[in-house]
Amino acid sequence: MAKLLIVEDDDALREQLEIGLTASGYEVCFAATGTDAIPAFEKHQPDLVLLDLMLPGKNGIEICTELREFSGVPIIMLTARTDDSDMIRGLEAGADDYVTKPYKTEVLVSRIKARLRPIKAKATSHPIVNIGPVEMDTLSHEVRKGDQKISLTPLEFKLLLTLASHPNEVYTREMLLEQVWEYTYKADTRLVNVHVQRLRSKIEDDPENPKLVLTVRGWGYKAGPE
Amino acid sequence: MLFGRLVKAALGLFRSSLQIRALVYTLALAGSALILLGGVLSVSIGNGLFSTRTEHALEESQRAQNTIARVFRDVQVDSTWSINQAIKQVVPELESSGVTQTRTVVFLKSSNQPNASRLEDAQSENVDLNLIAKSFREDVHAKGGIQSQTVQVMRDGETVPAILTGQKITLPGGHDYQLYLIYDMANEQQTLGFVQRTLVVGGLVTLGIIGFFSFLVTSWLVRPVQEAAEASEIMASGDLSRRLPVRGTDVVAVLATSFNHMADSLQEKIKDLGDLSKMQQRFVSDVSHELRTPLTTMRLSADFLYTNRDSFADPSKRSVEILHDQMDRFDKLLADLLEISRYDAAGVKPEYEVHDLNGIVGTALASIQHFADSKGVYLDAHIPSGPVQCEVDVRRIDRILNNLLTNAIEHSEGNPVRIQVAQNQTAVAVSVMDNGIGMNQAELSQVFDRFWRADPSRKRTTGGTGLGLAISIEDALLHHGSLEVTAEPNLGACFRLTLPKRQDLTEFDSPLPLAVEKIKI
């Protein structure tokens, strides 16, 4: 049974989330303030974090940044979306996905499921996938660039693996949303843009002048020429 | 051609420059005054010269009688020969005795006297006797005294005015003669010419000086006006901090002072409005956040109840279903309200990217297909084969299309809906046409109004918020494009969205017509 950490300051919402998510088969634990979030994470070691952005004490973006310093745990933001820039900043801080308030239970659950689903490479392919100097082990989920180990979040790993499995094939943002984020309906393509940027900052020599994950103007992205 | 263009340029300059206009008017007025003055001066100087010369001529003619008397003093009266000798002397005597200029002398005998055939006439060389008209000779003969007349004579190939005097002279021995003296006025003419040239040159110099000074004065007067004009233009373009320098206490200073006052109060008003707008934005943001959390809880509660609705007795179960549906409606309404208030607060920041409009339309059609099927509406899409690239915020365009398609399917009464995409050099367009009940003119004019519905009695099937088209037109305007509609009662309606291909294109024509027609499949 997967364990979820819910960081949410509203008591009623927290209680209703507990009822709904428990009924959907998850184990839930809580943090009611921003300052409690990191200690609660360390105590419960959850499989996924649901993070409200507007919190007393420490806001969601700071928590996100701190969590990413030591953990690749899937993070789904719960945003009020009065301002898109909040959502973008959350994604830039390392959140994998977001759900806009007021959300439906089924939407939230489908997002959680997508993030908890194990990443599988195609059964026929070799366990090692190469993209330029970067080597991806699809079994141990280890990523190396030369001698250097690169730590990618599961989402970043899935994104890179999707692109690298078909080098030089162009993926539109919509295709990536469907295959990596598992959206079956339209979603914000900026999710893809922000995560491609994060991925580049980890694997590229010069993220401003990428060689491995290339932008195809007007279309989308593809894995580099090698 | 060139001349025409020069005239056009000069006219343009004249119209556009206050200073040049003032200068031209000043020069025109001063020029007219100088011409008038010069004319009057020239005429009166000419008259003065003429009358002086006439006076002199008359005096000299008077004196000529003495000269003639002196010549004939010692002449023997009875000798025709000696009289003729004397007559010959008269001409050189009179020619030389003038004070200023040479005179031309004509000494003629009167015809009606005895021995006339033996007496001789005398005259200066090169005299045209036709100058002395017959009527003048008769006057001289009949009236006596000195008669005078103005005539024109040739002098060195030029015609100059001259004074002709005539008088009756009775020679010793009782012979009647007529003495004509012609005083030409070449000198006076020359003097007058000189005076006139001087007047013209002096007038031009004066005009130049007047022009120069009026240029200085007008530029000194116009400069503050120009500064005010520049400052107001800068203010109009958004820089409200611009002020005018105030010098002295004259009317220009009053202008500058009141301009600055106006700018101050304008700046203050705009700052107030800006503060108000910020406050409103803040309020909208706060309200939405505050509303959203309880709404989320309610939403989750309703979902939970709905999922477990089979465990309720019938009336409760139906209530749970109604609650669940209304939560959806409430959601949409709140989202639309927030979107439109964001537009009202000018807090919308579009994110432009180059997209293929065909792709956007295709996605929108795919997502609405299910709804169209449920209504039995055929979607007749005409999409060009090549890419239709345009610079858009794709989420907003998608929202517009979704809105137009939903409306068309809802109002088409089961008839097909036609979707067309086209492009030209500067713009792209999508039109959505239905063959529903259409709209009249009054309805057309309200179609983009908030919370307006085509037919209030109609059952609301999709639970639209009534804000869809109001948001769509804001989305279109945000792209510097247009969203237009035309409709005819009982024929249908056609909405046309036109967008510039790039955001820097301001002028464009829609590549699609805006008209309703019967759709034939």
What tens digit of pLDDT does each residue of B255-303 get? 888 888 888 898 899 889 888 877 877 777 677 777 888 888 999 999 8
CB pairs under 8 A, 24+ apart, for B139-145?
Answer: B139/B166, B140/B166, B140/B167, B140/B168, B140/B178, B140/B180, B141/B110, B141/B168, B141/B178, B144/B168
CB contact under 8 A, A102 and B292: yes
Of B296, B355, B389, the CB nearest to A101: B296
Q: Which residues of chain B have pLDDT under 50?
A: none
Q: Could you report the per-residue pLDDT of B7-50, keeping only the tens digit for each?
A: 888 888 778 788 888 888 999 999 999 999 999 999 999 899 88
DSSP one-letter string for A145-160: ETTEEE---HHHHHHH
- Helix (H) or strand (E) run with residue B14 in it: helix B2-16
CA distance A12 to chain B (A): 7
Of A82, A116, A150, the position where a domain reaches its end is A116
**Given this model, what pLDDT does residue B377 score?**
92
| Exposed / middle / buried, residue B111 (Cβ in 10 Å: 0-12, 13-18, 19+) | exposed
Please report whether residue A122 resides in a domain.
no
Please give the pLDDT value at position B351: 82
Contact A20 B300 (CB under 8 A): yes
A207 is a domain residue: yes
Q: Do B289 and A80 touch (CB under 8 A)?
A: yes
- Regarding predicted confidence, which is higher, A78 or A86? A78
Domains parsed from chain B with CATH numbers: 23-193 (3.30.450.20), 252-344 (1.10.287), 353-500 (3.30.565.10)
Q: What is the mean pLDDT of chain A?
A: 87
Nearest CA in chain A to B294: A13
Same domain, A10 and A90: yes
Cβ contacts (< 8 Å) between A190 and chain B: which residues?
Answer: 351
| CATH number, residue A109 | 3.40.50.2300
In this complex, the residue of B285, B304, B354 whose CB is nearest that of residue A82 is B285
Give pLDDT, residue B115: 63
**pLDDT, mean of residues A105-131:** 82
Q: Strand A75-79 relative to strand A97-100: parallel, antiparallel, unpaired?
A: parallel
- B356 vs A218: CB contact, 8 Å cut-off? yes
Pick from B297, B328, B331, B340 the residue to mutate for testing the A interface (most A CBs within 10 Å).
B297
> Residue A125's pLDDT is what?
63
**For residue A174, what is the nearest residue in chain B, using CA coordinates?**
B363
A50 inside domain: yes
Q: Which residues are B123's β-sheet partners?
A: B106
Tell me the average pLDDT across A123-135.
Answer: 77
Residue A1, C-beta contacts closer than 8 angstroms, at least 6 positions apart: A25, A26, A27
Tens-place pLDDT, residues A137-179: 888 888 888 888 888 899 999 999 898 888 888 998 888 998 8
B298 in contact with A, Cβ within 8 Å: yes
pLDDT at position B246, please?
82
A167 in the same domain as A108: no
Note whether A100 and A17 are same-domain residues. yes
Residue keyed to tokens 């639309």 = B336
Same domain, A87 and A166: no
Of the candidates B323, B279, B271, the one whose C-alpha atom is nearest the C-alpha of residue B298 is B323
Residue where a domain terminates, one of A116, A136, A158:
A116
* CB interface of B with A, residues 300-319, below 8 Å: 300-301, 303-304, 307
> Are residues A99 and A177 both part of a single domain?
no
Q: What are the angstrom distances between the C-alpha of B373 and each of A65, B364, B366, B414, B417?
A: 47, 14, 11, 10, 12
- Residue with the larger pLDDT of the pair B317 and A124: B317
Cβ-contact A7, A95 below 8 angstroms: no
**Is A123 inside any structural domain?**
no
Same domain (yes/no): A16, A101: yes
Nearest by CB to residue A54, choosing from B289, B307, B327, is B289
Q: Which residues pair with A149 in a beta bridge?
A: A144
pLDDT higher than threshold 60 for residue A123: no
Note the pTM of the prediction, 2 decimals.
0.56
Beta carbons of A82 and B395 less than 8 Å apart: no
Rounded Cα distance between B499 and B480, Å, is 7
- Comparing CB atoms, the residue among A13, A80, A82 nearest residue B297 is A13
Interchain contact, A19 vs B304, CB within 8 Å: yes
Residue numbers in A near B296 (CB within 8 A)? 13, 101-103
Q: What is the DSSP letter of A103?
A: P
Identify whether A121 is part of a domain: no
Interface with A, mutate which of B281, B283, B300, B358 (most A CBs under 10 A): B300
- Which chain B residues have a beta carbon less than 8 Å from that of A104? 299-300, 303
Residue A84 domain-assigned? yes
* CA dist list (Å): A88 to A115, A176, A191, A206, B472: 19, 18, 8, 22, 24
Question: Which residues in B lie closer than 8 A to residue A82 (C-beta atoms)?
Answer: 284-285, 288-289, 338
Note the pLDDT of residue B122: 82
- The confidence band for A82, taking pLDDT boundaries of 50, 70 and 90, is low
Position B205 scores a pLDDT of 94
Instruction: Mark whether A164 and A218 lie in a shared domain.
Output: yes
Asked if A157 and A104 sit in the same domain, the reply is no
Q: Nearest by CB to B288, from A82, A185, A218: name it.
A: A82
Interface touch B300/A218, C-beta < 8 Å: no
The confidence score (pLDDT) of residue B374 equals: 92
Q: A34 and A105 in one domain?
A: yes
Residue B492 in 3-state DSSP? Answer: strand
Contact B389/A23, CB-based, under 8 Å? no
Q: How far is A10 from chain B (nearest CA, A)?
A: 7
Q: Is residue A185 part of a domain?
A: yes
Contact A13 B389 (CB under 8 A): no
Residue ending a domain, among A116, A141, A162, is A116
Composition of chain A by helix, strand, coil, percent to 5? 40, 20, 40
Q: Are residues A83 and A16 in the same domain?
A: yes
The verdict on A132 and A42 lying in the same domain is no
Q: Which domain holds residue A80?
A: 3-116
Residue A35 within a domain = yes
Shared domain for A141 and A57, answered yes or no, is no
Instruction: Say how many domains are in chain A.
Output: 2
Contacts of A174 in chain B (CB under 8 A): 363
What pLDDT is stored for residue A131 in this prediction?
85
Query: What pLDDT score was predicted for residue B6?
Result: 83
